[in-house]
């Protein structure tokens, strides 16, 4: 358990009650901006899916989902979702959504293997979004255009928060900076991926790191990604691999890079076959989701998740995600937070 306790930390909103009001304000404002920027319709989403269908998000392919038998279905095993990365694509196919439009939803998940700290909880809440695109839009220019739209939604929300709560000053730069993970590695070859992120995000304030999942020049990926949702192995027109990445902001409270979104253009049949082979997971091609994708029955899409508690934590200048959401924390962490002036809800 790693806990950062900022020196002299205090709740800028003055009370838990004001914090709760501000959380609602941020969530209402941001999802309105996001849906307008990306032409997204809000839909209802599941919290559980059937095991063995390939629909659940595998994250880094090592995390264990919460599972349980369904009594009235002959004890068929179900899993609590990690995220809805693949479910959204199935939903778009079911709805026959045209290119240029998409969906978003309130995603609530459980990730019991998370290491609990200021940023990570076993409870995850995201705006999961997915948008239908044309095959011609599967390129780095379209990815960057979409990132800029999401970043604009964040900036507008930050400015609105300042109007409503003037003690919280805007700090985001006008533009988000783009860099590929391999360029970042070459820039700081002696640092770990997280240390590289801290360096580049401290310099630019807001950064999108491209190419998460493909091994870099040193043989290691910048970070893990499952093989079956983001396309991290297709060569792009900038001379590197990958059509995905992470949005990182400089967190002035924790004084570190702060991930608010993981997103990307999704795998097409060719990329899925390639990435399953690279990971030695070819047997997954027989699963329901993967089989439909390989048969060409699912649309080309771009999508991702934007952390709801994460974004509120950043915009409201909180030191711990537990100030935003109610979750389970070790008693020792609760005690240390209380001593540091961090009020966990």
Q: Specify whether the backbone of 39 is left (phi greater than 0), alpha (psi in -120 to 50) or beta.
A: left
Among 125, 128, 130, 246, the active-site one is: 246
Among 111, 225, 266, 310, the active-site one is: 111
Active site residue 237: no
Among 57, 79, 182, 197, the active-site one is: 57
Treating both helix axes as pointing N-terminal to C-terminal, what angle do 16-38 and 308-315 enclose, rounded to 10 degrees? 120
Active site residue 57: yes
Active site residue 111: yes
Among 262, 275, 308, 309, the active-site one is: 262
Among 31, 83, 121, 126, the active-site one is: 126
Active site residue 262: yes
Q: Among all residues, which ones are annotated catalytic?
A: 57, 111, 126, 246, 259, 262
């Amino acid at each position: 358990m790693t806990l950062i306790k900022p020196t002299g930390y205090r709740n800028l909103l003055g009370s838990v009650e004001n914090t709760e009001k501000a959380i609602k304000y941020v969530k209402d404002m941001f999802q309105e901006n996001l849906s307008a920027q990306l032409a997204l319709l809000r839909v209802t989403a599941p919290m559980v899916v059937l095991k063995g269908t390939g629909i659940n998000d595998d994250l880094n392919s090592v995390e264990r989902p919460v599972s349980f038998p369904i009594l009235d279905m002959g004890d068929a095993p179900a899993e609590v979702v990690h995220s809805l990365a693949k479910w959204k694509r199935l939903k778009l196919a079911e709805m026959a959504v045209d290119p240029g439009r998409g969906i978003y939803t309130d995603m609530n998940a459980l990730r019991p293997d998370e290491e609990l700290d200021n940023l990570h909880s076993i409870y995850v809440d995201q705006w999961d979004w997915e948008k239908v695109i044309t095959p011609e839009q599967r390129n780095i220019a379209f990815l960057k255009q979409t990132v800029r739209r999401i970043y604009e939604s964040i900036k507008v929300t930050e400015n609105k928060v300042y109007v409503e709560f003037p003690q919280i000053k805007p700090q985001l730069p006008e533009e988000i900076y783009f860099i590929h993970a391999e360029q970042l590695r070459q820039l700081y070859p002696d640092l770990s991926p997280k240390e590289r992120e801290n360096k580049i995000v401290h310099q630019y304030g807001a950064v999108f790191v491209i190419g998460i999942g493909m091994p870099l020049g040193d043989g290691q990926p910048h970070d893990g990604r499952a093989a079956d949702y983001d396309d991290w192995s297709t060569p792009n027109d900038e001379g590197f691999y990958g059509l995905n990445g992470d949005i990182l902001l400089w967190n002035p409270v924790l004084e570190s890079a702060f991930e608010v979104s993981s997103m990307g253009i999704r795998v097409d049949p060719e990329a899925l076959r390639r990435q399953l082979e690279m990971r030695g997971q070819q047997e997954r091609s027989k699963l329901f989701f993967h089989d439909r994708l390989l048969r060409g029955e699912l649309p080309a899409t771009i999508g991702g998740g934007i952390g709801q508690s994460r974004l509120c934590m950043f915009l409201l200048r909180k030191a711990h995600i537990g100030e935003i959401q109610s979750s389970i924390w070790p008693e020792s962490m609760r005690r240390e937070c209380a001593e540091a002036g961090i009020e966990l809800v």
